């Protein structure tokens, strides 16, 4: 088992990574000095597979868990579902010392974390992420929330879990498309912070796609380390944490204009990262060779890299970018790459260039250097 620490003073916590960890959840929770009562919040897909071992592990360690199952899918990340969870928590008489276990992907993690942050003005919660995206990204760092009709994640909080437990065995049942979508965030960590990770992904991608345990463990642990370091330095995104949004400005806009139907999050940010890399050649001198390496890695991971929007779609994408939470004073700011492993945030990009990159896949990469 690997252990990564998220350094946040008296709110610091550990991320445990390894195979066969679900059965050790109860023992790990014992060390946190939590109350006896707890609730496992999960979704229909995940609950069917993993609720039982989690439940049994908690009972064995002396806890009294109840089970709350929400529908699978993004629509469950709503105030309506949160309300249904609160009602269940009240029925099961959870108290201030009680805690919530979020068992599932990013949807369950964000929802259950939000419920924990608000029920009785905040009770403890533990993340047990079961998708690759949730293990390397959403379960770490304390962003919790739900969606509104007007947009994603518009209601929420910064609320850190007490523990994150990544059981790599749970990834065995994850559908291929979901696994590949998670790889988009994995590749992102290489681009923003770790050229060696990026090179390793280039080398070991076939093994990773086969979900080989050793490579998977190394890669998940490294991504968690990077996220933990960034969050430790800037928990509430007043600066550095913005680098985690590499590829997300355009990615979120694509998700919004396709009404969260066409692309999975990872697929949208794959296109967004390639677009940001292309913009970086013009604005920050990222070399054409490095852009090519970035495109090739996303392609090999089976992720989309190109989008060609019509003028009407581009107008809608711009409108969506302006609505993004990260926009300040109406200016759309980008994270751009200086080279693989190094990015800058808060970069202004002329709207004309954004427009071009959304309409033309051959945008401004000088072909001579390939
Ligand atoms: N809080 C953050 O910092 C943060 C960061 C990134 C993304 N997010 C959020 O995460 C959400 C996306 O998360 P996601 O990609 O994990 O999606 P998800 O939670 O919807 O899971 C994807 C699908 O896989 C199923 N599933 C989960 N684990 C499984 C397993 N082990 N085996 C089989 N099926 C399994 C789920 O039931 C679901 O149908 C979005 O709402 C996004 O906004 C949050
Ligand atoms: Zn993301």
pLDDT of residue 83: 98
Whether the pLDDT of residue 367 is over 60: the answer is no
Q: Is residue 92 annotated as part of the catalytic site, yes or no?
A: no
Give the pLDDT score at 365. Answer: 44
- Asked whether the beta carbons of 277 and 338 are under 8 A apart, the reply is no
Q: What is the mean pLDDT of residues 20-41?
A: 97
Please state, in angstroms and rounded to a whole number, the distance separating the CA atoms of residues 95 and 2.
Answer: 32
* Of the listed ranges 25-39, 305-319, 321-335, the one predicted with least confidence: 321-335
**What local confidence, expressed as pLDDT, does residue 368 receive?**
33
Single out the residue of 85, 89, 103, 29 nearest to residue 59, CA to CA: 29
Residue 65 CA, ligand 2 centroid: distance in Å: 31
Most confident of 256-265, 275-284, 315-324: 275-284
Q: What's the gap between Cα 346 and its chain centre?
A: 21
Catalytic residue among 37, 45, 77, 143: 143
Q: What is the pTM of this model?
A: 0.95
Q: What would the two tokens of residue 240 be?
A: 């550095």
For residue 290, indicate whether it is catalytic: no
Site residues for ligand 1, CB cut-off 6 Å:
43, 45-46, 72-74, 77, 104-108, 110, 130-131, 133-134, 137-138, 141, 143, 152-153, 170, 173-174, 178, 265
In the numeric block, which tokens belong to residue 37? 């009562």
Whole-number average pLDDT of the chain = 93
Distance 351 CA to ligand 1 centre (A): 32
Active-site residue flag, 338: no
Averaged pLDDT, 353-367? 67
Q: Which ligand is nearest to the CA of 335?
A: 2
C-alpha dist (Å) from residue 172 to 72, 109, 130, 285, 348 = 18, 19, 10, 40, 41
Instruction: Point out the ligand 1 atom lying closest to the alpha carbon of residue 153.
Output: 43
Q: What are phi and psi of 23, to 5 degrees?
A: -70, -10
| Span 62-87, average pLDDT | 97
Decide if pLDDT at 129 tops 60: yes
CA of 368 to the centre of ligand 2 (A): 33
Task: Name the closest ligand to CA 138.
Answer: 1
Reported as a single tens digit per residue, the pLDDT across 152-211 is 889 999 999 999 999 999 999 999 999 999 999 999 999 999 999 999 999 999 999 999
Ligand 2 centroid, distance to 101 Cα (angstroms): 22
> How far from each other are the two terminal CA atoms of the chain, in whole angstroms?
42
pLDDT higher than threshold 60 for residue 120: yes
The three-state secondary structure class of 144 is: strand
- Calculate mean pLDDT across residues 322-339: 81
**Bridge partners for 145 per DSSP:** 156
| 15 in Cβ contact with 4 (< 8 Å) | yes
Residue 322 appears among annotated catalytic residues: no
Question: What share of the chain in percent tops pLDDT 70?
Answer: 95
Taking 80 as the threshold, does the pLDDT of residue 78 lie above it?
yes
**Does 185 qualify as catalytic in the annotation?**
yes
Q: What is the pLDDT of residues 280-311, one digit of tens each?
A: 999 999 999 999 999 999 999 999 999 888 88
Atom number in ligand 1 closest to CA 110: 1
* Residue-level pLDDT at 320: 87
Catalytic-residue membership of 248: yes
Alpha helices in 234-308 (DSSP H): 248-257, 265-283, 288-300
- 153 part of the active site: no
- Ligand 1 pocket: which of 54, 106, 188, 248 to mutate (most atoms within 8 A of CB): 106
């Amino acid at each position: 088992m690997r252990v990564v620490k998220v350094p946040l003073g008296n709110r610091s916590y550990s991320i445990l990574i390894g195979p066969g960890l679900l059965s050790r959840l109860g023992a790990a929770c014992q060390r946190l000095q939590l109350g006896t009562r707890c609730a496992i919040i999960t979704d229909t897909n995940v609950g069917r597979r993993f609720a039982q071992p989690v439940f049994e592990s908690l009972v064995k360690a002396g806890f009294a868990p109840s089970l709350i199952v929400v529908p699978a899918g993004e629509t469950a990340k709503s105030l309506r579902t949160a309300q249904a969870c609160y009602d269940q928590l009240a029925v099961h008489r959870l108290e201030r010392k009680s805690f919530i276990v979020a068992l599932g992907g990013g949807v369950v993690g964000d929802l259950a974390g939000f419920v924990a942050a608000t029920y009785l003005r905040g009770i403890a919660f533990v993340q047990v992420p079961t998708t690759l995206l949730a293990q390397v990204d959403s379960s770490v760092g304390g962003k919790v929330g739900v969606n509104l009709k007007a947009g994603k994640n518009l209601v929420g909080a910064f609320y850190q879990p007490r523990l994150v437990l990544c059981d790599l065995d749970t990834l065995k049942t994850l559908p291929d498309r979901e696994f590949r979508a998670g790889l988009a965030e994995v590749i992102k960590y290489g681009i923003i912070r770790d050229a060696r990770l990026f090179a390793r992904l280039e080398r070991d991608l076939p093994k990773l796609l086969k979900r080989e345990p050793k490579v998977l463990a190394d890669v998940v642990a490294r991504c968690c380390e990077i996220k933990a370091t960034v969050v430790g330095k800037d928990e509430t995104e007043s600066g550095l944490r913005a680098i985690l949004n590499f590829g997300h400005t355009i990615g979120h806009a694509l998700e919004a204009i396709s009404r969260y139907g066409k692309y999975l999050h990872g697929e949208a940010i794959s296109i967004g990262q390639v677009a940001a890399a292309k913009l970086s050649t013009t604005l920050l001198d990222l070399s054409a060779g490095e852009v090519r390496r970035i495109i090739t890695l996303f392609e090999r991971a089976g992720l989309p890299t190109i989008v060609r929007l019509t003028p009407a779609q581009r107008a809608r994408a711009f409108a969506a970018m302006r609505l993004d939470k990260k926009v300040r004073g109406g200016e759309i700011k980008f994270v751009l790459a200086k080279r693989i492993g190094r990015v800058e945030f808060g970069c202004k990009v002329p709207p004309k260039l954004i427009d071009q990159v959304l309409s033309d896949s051959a945008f401004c990469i000088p072909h001579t250097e390939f």
